[in-house]
Amino acid sequence: MKITQDICDKCVDVLTDDGYNASVVECEPKQYAVYIDSVWDSALQNATSFRLHDEDIMYHASHFG
């Protein structure tokens, strides 16, 4: 299944409701991804972001939204 902006928005809504800092990014025209932002890395003493896999986006958007 293609990951659309609507699916990503739903996933971000679920994650932010659970207290996570998440955002939708348009990587290429009409190709979207969800990033979890401000994840603290104790070893690096820095906050980083990481991209969710498409399967995780679908899971959160469909199971919790």
pLDDT of residue 65: 55
Q: CB-based contacts of 41: which residues, under 8 Å, 6+ apart?
A: 47, 48
pLDDT of residue 1: 75
For each of the chain's 65 residues, which pLDDT tens digit applies? 799 999 999 999 999 998 899 999 999 898 999 999 988 878 778 888 899 999 999 999 988 75
